[in-house]
Chain A
Amino acid sequence: MTGWFQRLKTGLGKTAIRLTQGIAALVTKRKLDQPMLDELEETLIQADLGVATSGKLIERLKRERFDKEVSSEEVREAFAAAAAEILAPVASKLAPDPRRKPHVVLVVGVNGSGKTTTIGKLAHRWKADGLKVMLAAGDTFRAAAVEQLQAWGQRAGVPVVAGAAGADSAGLAFEALERAKREGVDVLAIDTAGRLHNKAHLMEELAKLVRVIRKLDPSAPHDAILVLDATVGQNAHNQVEVFSKALPLTGLVVTKLDGTAKGGVLVALADAFRIPVVAIGVGESADDLRPFEAMAFARSLMGLD
């Protein structure tokens, strides 16, 4: 007896939810006033957009809609559109140019941001695209970092160039590039040790790595990717600023977006630095590295969809 009733209820469920939301929106429709603006600003700050960028979005909304009837959903939509507008120019993707033989991708970031995992996933994708890929285990500092990359290399069926623990990472990168050239590799991805950007000597080490590989290929690295953890807060600004001083950053990868963190700091970064976002990580498996889509990202940021 409960059978058909249950089915009906489930069937109507979605419609019902939408209806309730619609009504709620109608009922809560009110004039855009200061308390509402404050509440909205807080939503933005809680998504890690930062005080400055949040303020900017709020100012804009205030100019356009103040004292007009709006619903909270409408405003969220408006914000999502504004955020997407900021993000759209930075939405990009990694497109290795196999004619470079090899296209060198250098991956950098602070400790634990997900550099090695990102490289593993990238290798997987490139390999599937039919490219000849090689990885360089440049993290010679952290215990078992080399083994970690080797495991990824094995999974993807891609050779990994590794040296002894504690070896000079610039030397290793040089060696890997030499070998990649010799073997006609399409893409060479170089992993590096995690480093905090406020340690001058470690940043100098990165600059040295770039200098050294340029001896073999003056145009390398063709991509220098900074890997950011989605949970990172306003410190991301410092990271981008300092890393881009040490080497020419060409893109950002945002990892761990499958958690509760939304990576709102990206909007602030896009606003301030305009460095392309080339991929986002949404899970642990190899296929979980996706292209970055400005609108989808902005909507999820505002709690839409």
Chain B
Amino acid sequence: MFDGLTNRLGQVFDRLKRRGALTEADVTAALREVRVALLEADVALPVVKTFIDGVREKAVGQEVLRSVTPGQMVVKLVHDHLVEILGGDAQLATGVTPPAVFLMVGLQGSGKTTTTAKLARRIARRERKKVLVASLDVYRPAAMEQLHQLAKQAEVSATPIVAGEKPLAIAARALEQARLEGFDVLLLDTAGRLTIDDELMAEVAAVRDLAKPHETLLVADAMTGQDAVTTAKNFNEKVGLTGIVLTRVDGDARGGAALSMRQVTGKPIKILGVGEKLDQIEEFDASRVAGRILGMGDVVGLVERAAEVIDKEEAEKLAAKMQKGGFDLDDMANQLRQVRKMGGLGGIMGMLPGVAKIKDQLAGAKVDENMIKRQEAIIMSMTPRERKDAKLLNASRKRRIAAGSGTTVPDINRLIKQYMEMSRVMKQMGKLGQKGIMRQGLGSLFRR
């Protein structure tokens, strides 16, 4: 989502980088561009002003003029300032005396119900807690049904639906259930509401007074425009927030709302929703997101995602094989599968530094998923013996595999070449051992 801003700032700073020295006029010009970039990224105007003033204060004068590469200096200043604004404690209050009560609030369609299920799943899996969810949305048709279905998918418990019950009564019942049945965490999903709807705001305040939540999270869409400020401010004043969840971060919105809401409420952004599936939720990390805004990549996100997706046992088995240099085509198929689980090449590329542009091209060319799938199909069309020993693959076998996988012989040759390359690297890694890799850096793996 932050790619737009990244590109925009990239253009600004490209211009700066091409010049030797930076005059004060340049700073002003650059900041004007930054201002436009931020406004186009939907950062609210008052927030933009504060931000620009903050950067200018630091930028104008010696700090920048004296630096060797002025462009980089400004990038750093903008980055640091972004981190400063975005930063905050993203820890969720799950560690209190059970049950920890979370209240999810927000406008209609911001993603509360999905987020509730995602959060429940995450807390249940990562922290090994017993989680209960309850929907207080008695207004939108089938909203309670939705949370129930999602809870089932997330493998957490849900408070049974009682038709005609009022939100406050449901909350009381859910609390009771959480206490009696020994749940660690209770997530209360609420109906979407507009902040000017006094009646509904009073209702959610009443739920808050009853449930005394440890976390009150505002769920907000990353695509929100200038109005983000009003929404966040009103929810904070009328209900009292402890944090913000930003959803649809996997869209291409520039995500200025994140900056705005953080600044206006003073409450930290704690969680990002990054996809439609229940495991597509990430912890918020200011320096990471600020880095992404400025095109510095999201390596931490990549590592985090990898750690979750890659099966530990599989990884250990592979490591053992690598030691012996026995990396075969089955292992390669496994790796391809893991790449796909991590969101495909596009997903991985998006998190690597400085590839925002390549990612766009990739998305345009649509090479990502299909290529990996096809390679997987090729390997699956081989006999187990062929997968163990690629040397067996002669012309007639290749023709058979091509027919079986719906590809061509050149496709298969390409795959074999790639496999050889990979197994060579694996052997090297095996020889180097853990220490060796650390010493030489990951770069050694890609050296030819």
Contacts and interface: CB of A to CB of B under 8 A. Distances in A.
Nearest to B195: A260
B45 A110 contact: no
Contacts of B149: 143-144
B40 A110 contact: no
B167 interface: no
Contact of B225 (A141, A142, A151, A233): A233
Contacts of A234: 40-42, 225, 254
A292 interface: no
Interface in A239-278: 256, 258-262, 264-265
B39 interface: yes
Given A233-B224, A256-B108, A51 B40 contact: yes
Interface string B215-248: 0000001011111101100100000000000001
A229 interface: yes
A45 B369 contact: no
Contact of B252 (A147, A235, A259): A235
Interface size class of B (residues with CB under 8 A): 35 or more
B251 interface: yes
Contacts, number: 143
Contacts of A265: 225
Interface residues of A, number: 47
A144 B251 contact: no
A147 B142 contact: yes
Contact of A51 (B36, B107, B254, B369): B36
B39 A51 contact: yes
Interface in A269-305: 284
Interface in B105-162: 107-111, 139-143, 145-150, 153
Contacts of B228: 231, 233
A77 interface: no
A48 to B, nearest CB: 4
A48 B226 contact: yes
A144 B195 contact: no
A110 B248 contact: yes
Nearest to A142: B146
Given A51-B36, A144-B145, 9 more contacts: A143-B146, A143-B147, A147-B146, A148-B146, A151-B141, A201-B369, A233-B228, A235-B251, A264-B226
Interface of B: 36, 39-42, 44-45, 107-111, 139-143, 145-150, 153, 194-196, 221, 223-228, 230-231, 234, 248, 250-254, 256-257, 276, 363, 366, 369
29 contacts: A45-B226, A46-B44, A48-B225, A48-B226, A111-B111, A111-B248, A114-B108, A143-B153, A144-B148, A147-B141, A147-B145, A148-B141, A150-B141, A198-B251, A231-B231, A232-B221, A233-B256, A234-B42, A235-B223, A235-B252, A235-B253, A238-B252, A256-B108, A259-B107, A260-B194, A260-B196, A261-B227, A261-B231, A265-B225
Interface of A: 42, 45-48, 50-51, 110-114, 117, 120, 141-145, 147-148, 150-152, 196-201, 229-235, 238, 256, 258-262, 264-265, 284
